[in-house]
Structure 1
Amino acid sequence: MAAVGLHGTVKEAPGFNPEADAQKLQEAMKGLGTNESTIISILAHRTIAQRQQIKTVYKRDIGKDLAEDLKSELSGHFEKVAVGLLMTPPVYDAYELKHAIKGAGTDEACLLEILASRSNAEIRAFTAAYTQEYGKNLEEDISGDTSGMFKRVLVSLLTAGRDESTVVDEALAKKDAKDMYDAGEARWGTDEAKFLTILCVRNRNHLLRVFQEYQSIAGRDIEDSIKREMSGNLEEVFLAIVRCIKSKPAFFAERLHKSMKGIGTTDSILVRVIVSRCEVDMVDIKAEFLKMYGKTLHSYIKGDTSGHYGKILLELIGPEK
């Protein structure tokens, strides 16, 4: 189990008692009606590790599966949050990816968000979880559901082969920047494979240096060039990689903002980002959100959601200040 993130909004509950929590949850769901406030007060204020203990104790002491009980008692987006909180990070990522590629149509935004933002260890973990949970190969499933260069970028990211050292090779950084410029801005048509080789393989520190060099060669930010040279899902996945390299909290702040602006809310993104990041870097995401949009994430969620669904999200992201 991953250590509790120093920058997460969900912290270990002091005086944690899984037996007492399991009992309270069962009482909240038995008989007519459901005490949603009790469910929120427990699930939103326990870490992933603590929730795993509650699940185990619930099955041992009550003889039922906690997730199944929640599914039978709750509904809609509130149910999705509650059930998601009971999963470990690899299982949750695998679950989200499975739902992104099953049935008619593919949720490409989910695929690129998860694959562009996870570390090598996290990618290996959810790939293994996918096989364990669904008896299928994730790479084969994604390959069967996507095509072209977009598919090649996702497959490259799935190999979990990014250099994760901190070494910056100055000569190579200059060459990489020049190679990307020559593969895009400097020619008719775009050699996307060159972008893939550099953006999916090099380490973060090195790429930050490449982006500086690129700016001086091209006279514009790498993001602007990607927007000019590419379109559709390929543009989106390369932009996601670049933004995650620059700042994961800023990337997720933008995802959250996009999910709530305009008419309607893309709840799938809102739920996924909050459930997956509340214990990792939600403190930083909230700070970036305020800096980027001049309003708190808290105020956006409050204005865009309602009922128990809104309440559990607000509990997970912590107080406004």
Structure 2
Amino acid sequence: MKGIGTNEDTILMLIASRSNDQRQQIKAAYKKAYGKDLVSALKSELGGLLESLITALMTPPAAYDASLLHKALKGVGTDDEVLIEILASRSTEQIRDIIKTYKKEFGGKLEKEICGDTSGHYRALLVILLQGSREEGVNEALVQKDVKDLYAAGEGRFGTDEEKFITILGNRSAEHLREVFTAYRALSGFHIEESIKNETTGNLEKLLLAVVKCIKSVPAFFAESLFGSMRRAGTDDETLIRIMVSRSEEDMLDIRENFKKLYGASVYTTIQEDTTGDFCKALLYLCGGND
């Protein structure tokens, strides 16, 4: 970064191919050596999508999620796609870290701000997911009851008992729900996703579907989201950055495997086809190689 011009290749190699823990150590060492904030220095040298990506990579995971949620909630309107993606996919421990970091960084309670921006059954399920208090293990005695309750709440009646869907899908363990989904198909003849689409609409439908997909497979959920961010008229760069940054150290290899299985293409080559320049190079580092 010294002098005129910027060596972007070196910046990409040093940041995009390191872990977040290592980046935090580099940031601290840089400040000690040069008396400057590394993120501010990077911002002054970079621009556009590359700046957004590198800045995101320099942010600790909980702080990054908290900043995404704050941005989704502030101002006019709400970015429900971000709320749904984060709250449906993060682990109990990650949710707790996000809540603490949100309070520290933005001085407000995340739950209160979500309640102020959302309503109805959609809000109720978001609040349940924020509690991060899913039950543990499989309750075999409860599996069949949950199946019957879900059927009675939707396909088996005129109208829908949304609260029953919210309570069961928001509180049971992932292992328990996977058994419920299998038994539900056998009883009703419908996949649970089909029933959700038949019985609910709007943001509640989107959130319930995201919860079900993440219960079944978080990497498959993100493979689908990643494909959607690139294979539409123009690339959804915000979603692309969000997924690549937040999943690069979590389950990127599993996402790549699911992407290949679902779409017959590699994440690596799809990124090459849909992005350009240094932004593309940085994403390819995060991808971790070609299939």
TM-score, scaled to structure 2: 0.98
Show the counterpart of 2:68: 96
Q: Distance in 1 between matches of 2:209 and 2:283?
A: 27
Match of residue 57, structure 1, among 20, 29, 32:
29
Q: Distance in 2 between matches of 1:174 and 1:265?
A: 43
Cα displacement string for residues 29-56 of structure 1 (whole angstroms, at most 9, x for unaligned residues): 2222211111100111111111110011
Alpha-carbon shift at residue 171 of structure 1 (Å): 2.0
Show the counterpart of 2:171: 201
Q: Distance in 2 between matches of 1:178 and 1:65?
A: 58
Paired residues in the alignment total 291
Alpha-carbon shift at residue 140 of structure 1 (Å): 1.1
Alpha-carbon shift at residue 238 of structure 1 (Å): 0.3
Identity among equivalent positions (%) equals: 51
Q: Does residue 220 of the first structure (1) align with residue 183 of the second (2)? A: no
Show the counterpart of 2:249: 279
Match of residue 6, structure 2, among 34, 39, 51:
34
Cα displacement string for residues 53-75 of structure 1 (whole angstroms, at most 9, x for unaligned residues): 00111111111111111122212
Match of residue 258, structure 1, among 208, 218, 228:
228
Gaps of at least 5 residues in structure 2 are: none
Gaps of at least 5 residues in structure 1 are: 1-28
Show the counterpart of 1:142: 114
Q: Which residues of 2 match residues 220-239 of structure 1 at below 5 A?
A: 220-239=190-209
Cα displacement string for residues 258-295 of structure 1 (whole angstroms, at most 9, x for unaligned residues): 11112011111111111011111100000000000011
Alpha-carbon shift at residue 104 of structure 1 (Å): 2.3
Structure 1 stretches (4+) deviating beyond 4 angstroms? none
Show the counterpart of 1:11: none
Q: Distance in 2 between matches of 1:72 and 1:101?
A: 27
Q: Distance in 2 between matches of 1:38 and 1:64?
A: 19
Show the counterpart of 2:219: 249
Alpha-carbon shift at residue 117 of structure 1 (Å): 0.6
Amino acid at match of 1:110: V
Show the counterpart of 1:14: none
Q: Which secondary structure state, in structure 2, belongs to the residue aligned with residue 314 of structure 1?
A: helix
Amino acid at match of 1:88: P
Alpha-carbon shift at residue 197 of structure 1 (Å): 0.5
Match of residue 109, structure 1, among 55, 67, 81:
81
Amino acid at match of 2:108: K
Cα displacement string for residues 80-99 of structure 1 (whole angstroms, at most 9, x for unaligned residues): 11011111111111011111
Show the counterpart of 1:133: 105
Q: Which secondary structure state, in structure 1, belongs to the residue aligned with residue 132 of structure 2?
A: coil
